[in-house]
Structure 1
Amino acid sequence: MALMPRGELRIYLGAAPGVGKTYTMLEEAHRRAERGTDVVIALVETHGRKHTAAMLGDLEVVPRRAMDHRGATFTEMDLDAVLARRPGIAVVDELAHTNVPGSRNAKRWQDVQELLDAGISVLTTVNVQHLESLNDVVARITGAQQRETVPDGFVRAAEQVELVDMTPEALRRRMAHGNVYRPEKIDAALGNYFRTGNLTALRELALLWLADKVDDQLGRYRTDHAIDSTWETRERVVVALTGGPEGDTLIRRAWRIAARTKGADLMAVHVARSDGLAGADPAALARQRVLVESLGGSYHQVVGADIPQALLDFARGANATQIVLGASSRGRFARLFAAGVGVTTIARSGSIDVHLVPHERAGQGRRRGPLPAALSRRRRAAGFAAALLGLPLLVALLKLGPHLSLTNNILLFLAAVVGVALIGGLWPALIAAVGGSVILNWFFTPPLGRFSIAEVQNLLALAVFVAVAVAVSWVVDTAARKTRQAAQASADAQTLATVAGSVLRGERPLMALLDRLRETFALDSVTLLDGDTVVAGVGQQLCATPAEADVEVKADGDLTVLLRGRILEASDRRIVEAFAAQAAVALKQERLATEAAAAKPLAEANRLRTALLAAVSHDLRTPLAAATAAVAGLRSPDIQLDDTDREELLATTEESLDRLDRLVANLLDMSRLQAGALGIAVIEVGAEEVVPRALDEIGPGGRQVRVHVPDDLPPLRADPGLLERVLVNLVGNALRYSPPGQPPVITGSSHGGIIELRVIDHGPGIPHDRWDDVFLPFQRLGDRDNHTGVGLGLALSRGLTEAMGGTLTPDETPGGGLTMIVALPAGEPA
């Protein structure tokens, strides 16, 4: 029996509700139906949107299944009915929906999976905030936690994912026109989840997530079709690092190449041989990794015996377009025998561009350290002893024993040479091979007792003996060396992995590094010295000078790591150098963080002091000058004033003194806020009590303001006097910028235990990138009259609101203008 083919899944992805996912999905359903495909509506949520409901048209709709839960009736998709109907395509809206308890599946995406397994293709919708991998990110951006999620793997496995896109401005206009939510929900939605900044961030998340899926699809296609050539969908620059000092130059050059194209990727790769850290400077690699990551790139390490091939395999696997290499440091003599990594890479690169970058060490020859010994000294000594004692013993046994042919004698001596190689390695085995050939010639090859050979075949046999003995000795020695190097590399990797884990988990990376170094090598103490100053240390009896240490390792610049407890082997010292390099980086980061933390309040205080002097000197002088002039006019005996003039001067004096009083009050309140000494008495108060008092305090201008606060609005928790001050400042600003005939509006709404009071104006507004600036003290953004206050109003209003446990945030008024939203906790409903 043939297996039923699985249905195809097409998902319409949106950045937010209201972008038109369901509408677009229904358009596709109609197109499929017109082409003769059997299409049914398994479940579509119109949410009362008339345009979406009209798109259902004459498509067949499978009736929903009613379910009772906790005394209420809910409807869900009737999965069994859809399976029994067996359409070609089922339209299933809201993929992330959680089914009513008692349903066969907990999630709707699991219902869709059953439809696909039954061979039914599905059209469905999902928003980016419901993707499992982005759920926490969206919550931080919007402040709203989404409880319904879909596994990313299920969405990525879809045959088609189509982004239904809409600009934030267009979506907000659609909402303002009532095309998404009911009228009573529009203000709250626009002021919270559907802020322009939120929508912009969600849109970018959706685009980036879809771009990653497209990149995955491209990678699978290239793999399935065995495509090795580079497809230049975007620039990817790979820089090859050897661990040498030229690495910094190469990284910066590669970054400049990548920076020429927007969105290009920078990847650094180090090809490690099978010799652990013997082929590279771990300290240099550690510094270069930090440099790459600070420039926005990524660091990779691969293992390969053929460095050019390993590098090209990595580049082709990453679909890289360019490779940056350092010019060969091999000398001229060495280049006669091998072309070098750069030339070989260029010859094999194909469509990948290769850049050879000159540096200071180019052509100067490599400085290699001595190869590590394959075996220990004890093993080598035992090998020499076996060669010097074993060969005479073998001669005695052959002379005293039965007579054997020359061939048998050669085989026995060959076995002895192999045994010496297994015990002591190459050099004892070479001595045994040479000595064995001499002994065979003297004692067992005719003419005996002479260093001459009578027959050509005996000469050939001895030559083969020497060649095989040397070859076997070399193989045994090489295998022993590789085994030791592999063990050393494994130990090095394990140590460095443990170091990385401890540093990532620790709150203080520097101390974690030093402590891990002490534990790894069983040291008494580890000290980090900057010049002659002890910066940090762990353990007992820290070293104050290099003379007190058993081991001294240079880290970076004047930084030195001092170890006390034992002398380290050369292989261990390389690991300590890696520790030291990371310690230097960690110290720099801690110092930068400390300096930034110390400088921030100083810079802020200096900025505030400068702004205060500039603003107060101006704003104190203006009302003082007006009041002084008015009082002088009243007191002057040379000026004859009638009652009207006298009233005008008195009014000017009173207005100027009121401005001074408000200025001083704001300054005192701001200083109390910053000192934490402002007295606050939070109680439950109704908006209908506070708003009229604030408008009365404003004066004649307050009577122009329109108020739309519902009668059933719950009370809010606030200090009535402070809330009144906040509203006076906000309404005063709104009146200042409102055009004639469009007075400010105050609205109130409640949702989720929060009461929001909105002060809405239709003035010129403020650019989004300056919204945070309006709350900085002594800022007057876009004032048409620069003689109206020191710019403390909004800063003080936000401070007072937050002191009462609320928030003050700006938003864009649909149609133009600025909306200030005061959000405070709701009290108990009356």
Structure 2
Amino acid sequence: MEYTHFMASAEAYPDRSGNQKQAVGYVWAAGGVALATGGFWLVRSYLDKGQASLLYLPVAIACALRFGFGPAVLGAVLSFLCWDFFFLPPFGTFVVTDPKDWLSLFVFLLAAITTAQLASRAREQTQQARAREAEIATLFQASEALSREIGADSLLVALAQRLQVLCRASRCLVFRRASGGLRLVAAGRLGPPPSDAEAETIRRAAEAACEHRQVIGFGTSRTLWAKALVAANTAPSTLGVYVPLQAEAGPVGVLHVGPRTDGQPFSGSDERLILTLANHAAVAIARADLAAQAAQAEALREADALKDSLLSLVSHELRTPLAAIKVSASGLLQPDSSWEEAARQEALRAINREADRLSTVVSNLLDLSRLEAGAWRPHKDWCDLAEVAGTALDRLPPPDAARITLNAAPDLPLIRADYAQIALVLTNLLENALKYTPAGSPIRLGLQPAQMGQDEAPSGVTVRVRDFGAGLTPGEEERLFDRFYRGVRHEGGSIHGTGLGLALCRAIVQAHGGRIWAANAPAGETAGAVFSVFLPKEDAA
């Protein structure tokens, strides 16, 4: 996520040192006076000797407004000298013969310097107001970002970039405390990255600030400053500022702001902004840590619930068929048993049936685990879904298959899918419908093209399994596809089930980019449930 409203661009705050600005200002002042003098010289015959002084004032004022007081004073002095040399008799010398001209010269110089000072002060006040406005906007945007629960890492990156620009810092880094020490999580985007040696120096100084829980760089005590210098093995001029990010439980990181690019110390406004944004960064990290702890606790709770469900499954769905197999096998192995052939065959069928039930449970568990781990990815190829439905019907016992009516549209498009996985989805949906509906009641399996628009080609296929059972309990339509969940109406009932079949269906359908959902039959129709699956066509690339 980008936060362009929260970041200032480098063009809005040009990174030019104070010495460079002053040099440009002095050159501009000298050039401006020279140009003004040349222009006045061309029209000197139309000017009174006193009028030239008034025309030099704009040069000094422009220098003050653009470059500050120093270049403005230079412009005033040069204007003073040029007016004397070129426009006061005797021309071409600095000699002044008329006392009135002396008075005019010094009044001009005083007026020019005073005007330049006032203009320079107005310029500084304007700059301070703009800086304060930017500072307030930054703090407001940081608070707004915190209130909107933006991710901690994104917020820290935005804070670092904004702070580096506003303070004209050579770098701005945010470290987050981790089990192995401090970890860099955000950096300003201006300037080259630090070298390996500089990075090690910064890390050591940051660790010193975090360990002592004190700011290094703003009113740092001599003892702590010395410890930081020794730890960082560097000079004070290159150390910068290190602010520990204090939370209620202790420091959660360190904010490092490198020295200013113009070589000047940080101003009071800079210090206030750095400390305030450090508090915002600490709040963001602390809140992210709390959210991570809450997520971990929720994951542990879900794992505990899953463990209970698995234990319930093992105790019932695995132990029950094992007990039946054990009883039948033990009876058949008795040496003195006098079983009739029909009874013996029934016992063998029971063993086979319960073994199949065990195999289904284990297979569903393994298939679901493989899907969720990404180890059973679909191998897609063009499939005729009507043919897949026929395969699913063939897997059912003949009496159950006889209850199912297949209605496939003649214009059914081919889809790209894993044949075996989709056949497993249809088999599980049909077995679920057979299990939870009265014996002998019909079940309808429908296959229809899914249209994106009235005149557009089909985008896929929709599968619907409609039964005429008791229907679904309102509110459980989504939960039916959770692992180990069984319908409310059948909890503790005589119907066997693990709650894995529909979960496996959802995992397979989602792996194909499709969607599966359940609902009760529409109002006005016979009661029952409708399970629907949408599978995309996926045109060949």
TM-score in same-fold range (> 0.5): yes
- Asked if 1:796 is matched to 2:507, the reply is no
Q: How far is 1:759 from its partner?
A: 0.5
Q: 2:82: which partner in 1?
A: none
Q: 2:164: which partner in 1?
A: 518
- Quick one: distance in 2 between partners of 1:826 and 1:728? 21
Q: 1:825: which partner in 2?
A: 536
Residue deviations 1:300-330, cap 9 Å, x none?
xxxxxxxxxxxxxxxxxxxxxxxxxxxxxxx
Of 418, 424, 447, 1:748 maps to 447
Q: How far is 1:574 from its partner?
A: 2.2
- Quick one: distance in 2 between partners of 1:523 and 1:679? 50
- Quick one: distance in 1 between partners of 2:336 and 2:384? 55
Residue deviations 1:511-543, cap 9 Å, x none?
332243233223345455779964547565423
Of 249, 265, 268, 1:570 maps to 268
- Asked if 1:688 is matched to 2:396, the reply is no
User: Does structure 2 conserve the Cα–Cα contact (< 8 Å) formed by 1:715 and 1:827?
Assistant: no
Question: What pairs with 1:759-774 in structure 2 (closer than 5 Å)?
Answer: 759-767=465-473, 769-774=475-480
Q: How far is 1:792 from its partner?
A: 0.9
Q: 1:617 to 1:710 in 2, by over 3 A?
A: same
Q: 1:737: which partner in 2?
A: 436
- Give the partner amino acid of 2:466: I
Q: 1:493: which partner in 2?
A: 133
Secondary structure at 2:472 match in 1: coil
Q: 1:530 to 1:702 in 2, by over 3 A?
A: closer
Q: 1:531 to 1:684 in 2, by over 3 A?
A: closer
- Quick one: distance in 2 between partners of 1:529 and 1:826? 48
Q: 1:629 to 1:798 in 2, by over 3 A?
A: same
Q: 1:509: which partner in 2?
A: 155
Kindly indicate whether structure 1 or structure 2 has the higher relative contact order, using CA contacts under 8 Å at least 6 residues apart: 2
Q: 1:704: which partner in 2?
A: 403
Instruction: Give identity over the alignment, percent.
Output: 31
**Pairwise CA RMSD:** 4.4
- Quick one: distance in 2 between partners of 1:715 and 1:530? 53
Q: 1:804 to 1:576 in 2, by over 3 A?
A: closer
Secondary structure at 1:508 match in 2: helix
Of 472, 488, 491, 1:782 maps to 488
Secondary structure at 2:367 match in 1: helix
Between Structure 1 and Structure 2, how many residues are aligned?
A: 364
- Give the partner amino acid of 1:723: I
Secondary structure at 2:355 match in 1: helix
Of 412, 415, 422, 1:723 maps to 422
Deviates more, 1:790-799 or 1:685-694: 685-694
Q: 1:812 to 1:492 in 2, by over 3 A?
A: farther
Q: How far is 1:755 from its partner?
A: 0.8
Q: How far is 1:584 from its partner?
A: 1.8
Q: 1:681 to 1:520 in 2, by over 3 A?
A: closer
- Quick one: distance in 2 between partners of 1:531 and 1:792? 42
Secondary structure at 1:522 match in 2: coil
Q: 1:90: which partner in 2?
A: none
Higher helix share: 2
- Quick one: distance in 2 between partners of 1:530 and 1:677? 35
Q: How far is 1:793 from its partner?
A: 0.3
- Quick one: distance in 2 between partners of 1:733 and 1:668? 19
User: Does structure 2 conserve the Cα–Cα contact (< 8 Å) formed by 1:551 and 1:568?
Assistant: no
- Quick one: distance in 1 between partners of 2:510 and 2:241? 56
User: Does structure 2 conserve the Cα–Cα contact (< 8 Å) formed by 1:514 and 1:583?
Assistant: no
Q: 1:488 to 1:553 in 2, by over 3 A?
A: farther
Q: How far is 1:622 from its partner?
A: 0.5
Q: How far is 1:749 from its partner?
A: 0.9
Q: 1:582 to 1:482 in 2, by over 3 A?
A: farther
- Quick one: distance in 2 between partners of 1:662 and 1:735? 16
Q: 2:81: which partner in 1?
A: none
5+ residue gaps, structure 2, are 1-68, 71-110, 188-193, 210-215, 217-224, 229-238, 452-457
Residue deviations 1:556-578, cap 9 Å, x none?
43446454426322233222233
Q: 1:534 to 1:727 in 2, by over 3 A?
A: closer
Q: 1:481 to 1:681 in 2, by over 3 A?
A: closer
Q: 1:530 to 1:671 in 2, by over 3 A?
A: closer
Q: 2:317: which partner in 1?
A: 619
Q: 1:577 to 1:661 in 2, by over 3 A?
A: same
Q: 1:814 to 1:584 in 2, by over 3 A?
A: same
User: Does structure 2 conserve the Cα–Cα contact (< 8 Å) formed by 1:555 and 1:561?
Assistant: yes
Q: 1:806: which partner in 2?
A: 514
User: Does structure 2 conserve the Cα–Cα contact (< 8 Å) formed by 1:809 and 1:821?
Assistant: yes
Q: 1:783 to 1:657 in 2, by over 3 A?
A: farther
- Give the partner amino acid of 1:743: P
- Asked if 1:663 is matched to 2:369, the reply is no
Residue deviations 1:464-485, cap 9 Å, x none?
xxxxxxxxxxxx9xxx999977
Question: What pairs with 1:59-78 in structure 2 (closer than 5 Å)?
Answer: none
TM-score normalised per structure 2? 0.56
5+ residue gaps, structure 1, are 1-377, 380-418, 426-475
TM-score normalised per structure 1? 0.38
Q: 1:714: which partner in 2?
A: 413
User: Does structure 2 conserve the Cα–Cα contact (< 8 Å) formed by 1:550 and 1:567?
Assistant: no
Q: How far is 1:550 from its partner?
A: 5.4
- Quick one: distance in 2 between partners of 1:487 and 1:682? 64
